[in-house]
Structures are given as structure tokens and as C-alpha cells.
Structure 1
Amino acid sequence: MILYDNQMMEGHSVPQEDWQIAAYHAFAAKMTNREEKFPCIPATIGFTHSHLRYGFVTDPRSADAERIVAELIRDYTDNSRQFGKYTSLILFFQTPNDLKNKFAVEQYESLFWDLLSRTAQEDKREWPQHIPEDPSSHVWEFCFHEESYFVYCATPAHFRRQSRHFPFFMLALTPRWVLTEFNKVPKQVQMLKPLIRERLEAYDTIGPHPDLKLYGAEDNYEWKQYFLRDNDTTASSCPFSHGRSSKTKAGNHSSTD
């Protein structure tokens, strides 16, 4: 699996399939639009400075999707600290017309959690001890390859929440260390957070989702922010299952993977 950066995508070392090039250009347009400014300012900075890395995955419903995702996350995790302090892993998925045109938001939600659970089963390392395995904990977050991540999902079915709309099924994984480093500069946080909120309210035709809260707060649950519906409702419980009990018992942990 190859991790691409901006220069590779905009130069000659580009994927061969048209949908991959189209997905990247749609993303680039979203990050650089000066009239409709994307709300997540750190993401736009990451794009501008080429801190982001991109991976391309087959149809998320395919049996091979979780293996590809796992390999890309593994590679990214091993190298992410070299990419810059605003880095994230952006995963674009091949999205056939039946998926793009017929799936509702709730169907994409089920697909997202199924894919994340399947990917977790591909992890060759143990779940980090400092992160609870139960998503009902206010400090739980998705972990893979001994790194904790905030996961963002965008789909073609989102319309009221344009901040979660993308013409292809897409995931963005941001390492917790990136978010921690960002929050270490209080003046920067105090300046950007109100601006991000202001942009979000202008970008979407619906108010910010009530589940958008701060990591670590006792009334916050990270999983609720991974996939935001196109309204203000939320799933009653987290659908994620890491399915790792049998794998751990089998002693598949390897510190060299």
C-alpha cells in the first residue's frame, strides 16, 4: 500500500484510476475554497503544508477493504511523526454508483462501524492499556497499532451537514498526539476554536451537533463524534466491536509488527 502526499498527487506519481484522482481533487477543492471555508482550520493548515497523507481503498463493502485499511494505518502510524504536527491520514474509498446514489446516511453509518470493527480485527498488536476497551468510557477512542485516533467520516449522503459531505466515502484519522500538541498552545486554541465554530455554523445548514464536545470531559463520548448524522440524533449505543478477545488469547501480539 502506498501513502501519498500532495506533491505526489499533484505531480506524476499519481494513482492510475480516475476515481482516485477525482477524489483527491475534490478534497483539495474543499480544503482550499476561499468562499466556503472548511470549518476545521487545522485540517486546512495540514493540507497547505503537505502534512496530510492519503490512501486509496476499494469499495468499503468488499472483503478486502479492512485489510487495505489496516495496512495503510499501520504504515502511517509508523511514520506519522515525520509528516508534521498537523498530520492526518485521509482514506478515500471507491464508491460505486449504487453506493453513492442509493445509500442513506443511516446505511453509511452502519457501514462505517462495520468497517471500523472489521479493521480492528486486523490489528496485530494489543489494545493500549491506558485506553478503556469500552466505548461508554469518556476517554475511549479508536486504537490501532498501539496508537489512538480520532476518526472522522464523510459520505455522499450528507447534505445538511456539508462539513460531513464528500462525493466519496471517506475517513480521516488524526492521531491523538496531534490533537494533544495542538492543545498545548492555549492562545492558539482560544483564538481558533471560536473561529472554527463560526465557520461550522456558516458551512452547514443545521446547527453544530450536540455531541461535539471536548475529549476527556465526563459528558463526552468520542464515538458519537466519529459519525455525525444529518440531524441531531445519535445511536443509542456504540456499534463498535474490536473482536480481539480470541486473538489476544491466542498470543498474536508482536512488538515488531
Structure 2
Amino acid sequence: MELYTKSWIDEHGEGMNCWKQTAFAHFGAMLGDREQPYPCIPGKQGFHQDNLRFGFAEDPTTDVASVQLATLLKQYGEIARQTGKYASLVVFFDSRTLQKQKAEVDQYQELFWSLLTNLHELDEAQWPEHIPKDPHDPKWEFCFNGEPYFAFCATPAHQVRKSRQFPCFLIAFQPRWVFDEINAETTFGQKLKKAIRQRLVSYDGIPAHPDLKWYGQQNNYEWEQYFLSDDDSSLSKCPFMAMKNKWKSIRS
């Protein structure tokens, strides 16, 4: 498994499989669209400044995809701080079979949480002591190999929330340290939040999902923001904890 930079793919991407070329080309067009700017300003900055890293994985419903994702995220965690201020890992999955089956949003949602649970099971490192283990704690964040990440998922099934729509199944991981200066306690963070929300409403054409809040706020739970529904609905409990406990019961 390899991590790629934008500059490398721009120069050598023609040697990749067609589905990989298509996925990256669409991603570039989406973040480079000036008439309809993508809402995530740090993401756009990271893309154009070559801060992002990209990976490709097989059919996300297979076991091998989980192993590939774990390998990519472990490699990324070891070099993330060297990649730039607006770091993120973007992983594209070969979801052509799911698309032919016309998988719906809730199917992708279950798949997303299954992958995060599998990642946790494959994680050889201890959970960071400063991060709560309960997803229903406002300070909780998904962690892998000792690093906390904000996870973002986009799918082919999303239609209403265009900011969560992508031709193939996609998961992005943003290291928590990226948000050190982007939070509600800084003037820069407050201004950036306002700009992102304005762009989000314009991009989607509907109000922002009610689950979108700030990390650490008492009424905020990060897991709720990882995978947004195509409407305003929310899950009552975090699937990660439920699946994690299911793994434990099976093994015992």
C-alpha cells in the first residue's frame, strides 16, 4: 500500500487503474471548482498546497479493504506532521459493485462504522490516555496507532447533501492537531467556522445538519459528524461502541 501526493498523481497518475484516475480527477475538480467552492476551506488549502495524502483500497465490503485501510492510516500517522498545516489522508475505495447494486445511504453508513470498528481491532497501539473511550463524551475522537482523528465519509448514495456526495465511497482522516488553531476559542477559528457554514449552506442548498458542532462542546459528539444522513436525522447511539462490544462478546 502506498501514500500519494497530489503532485505525484498529477505527473504519474496516467499509469493508475481507470477507477483510481476517475476518483482522483473528480476530487480535484470538486476542490478546484471556483464557481461553486467546496465548503471545507482547510481541505481546499491542503489540496492546493500539496498537504494531503491519498490512498486507494479495494471493495470496502471485503476483509482485505480493512487491512489496506489500517496499513495506509498507520503509514500516514508516521509522516502526517511533516506534510503541512492542513494535513489529511483521503482514501478512495473501489465501490463499483456497491454502485451497481444501488446501495443506499444507510448501507454505506453501516459499512463506514464496520470499517472503523475493524480498524480498531487491527490497531496494535494503546488508546491515548488523554482521549475518552466513550464516544458519548464530548472529548472523544476516533484514534488509531495512538493518534486521534476526525473521520469524514462521502458516498455515491448521498443526493441532498452534496458536500457528502462522491462518485465512490470515500473516507478522509484529519489529525486532531490540525484543529488546534481552528476552534471556537480563537478569533481565527470563529471566523473560519462562519465562512465554512455559509459555504456549506450555499453548496448543499439546505441548512447545515444539526449535528455539526464544535469539538469539546458539551452538546457535541464527534462521531455524529463522521457520517451525516441525507436528511436531518441522527443515530441515537454510536455504532462504534456497539460493534466493539459485539466483537468482544464473539471472542469471549
Query: Structure 2-normalised TM-score?
Result: 0.93
Return the alpha-carbon distance in structure 2 between the equivalents of residues 13 and 157 of structure 1. Answer: 26
The aligned residue for residue 168 of structure 1 is: 168
Return the alpha-carbon distance in structure 2 between the equivalents of residues 177 and 184 of structure 1. Answer: 15
**Deviation at residue 16 of structure 1 after TM alignment:** 2.3
Count of aligned positions: 246
Return the alpha-carbon distance in structure 1 between the equivalents of residues 231 and 39 of structure 2. Answer: 18
The aligned residue for residue 235 of structure 2 is: 235
The aligned residue for residue 136 of structure 2 is: 136
The aligned residue for residue 111 of structure 1 is: 111
The aligned residue for residue 221 of structure 1 is: 221
Q: Which has the higher helix share?
A: 2
The aligned residue for residue 21 of structure 2 is: 21
SS in 2 for 1:152: strand
> Does structure 1 residue 208 correspond to structure 2 residue 208?
yes
**Deviation at residue 14 of structure 1 after TM alignment:** 5.8
Q: CA RMSD in A?
A: 1.8
SS in 2 for 1:150: strand
**Deviation at residue 97 of structure 1 after TM alignment:** 4.0
2:138, 2:219 within 8 Å by CA — same for their partners in 1?
yes
The aligned residue for residue 73 of structure 2 is: 73
Return the alpha-carbon distance in structure 2 between the equivalents of residues 211 and 184 of structure 1. Answer: 16
Return the alpha-carbon distance in structure 2 between the equivalents of residues 98 and 227 of structure 1. Answer: 17
SS in 1 for 2:55: strand
The aligned residue for residue 124 of structure 1 is: 124
Deviates more, 1:237-246 or 1:212-221: 237-246
Deviates more, 1:176-185 or 1:139-148: 176-185
Question: Residues 13 and 202 (structure 1 numbering): CA distance in 2 closer, same or farther, change over 3 Å?
Answer: closer
Alignment of 1:242-253 (within 5 A): 243=244
The aligned residue for residue 150 of structure 1 is: 150
Question: Residues 243 and 237 (structure 1 numbering): CA distance in 2 closer, same or farther, change over 3 Å?
Answer: closer
**Deviation at residue 20 of structure 1 after TM alignment:** 0.6
List gaps (5 residues or longer) in structure 2.
Answer: none
Percent identity (aligned): 45
2:183, 2:214 within 8 Å by CA — same for their partners in 1?
no
1:128, 1:143 within 8 Å by CA — same for their partners in 2?
yes
**Deviation at residue 130 of structure 1 after TM alignment:** 1.2
2:150, 2:226 within 8 Å by CA — same for their partners in 1?
yes
Return the alpha-carbon distance in structure 1 between the equivalents of residues 213 and 92 of structure 2. Answer: 26
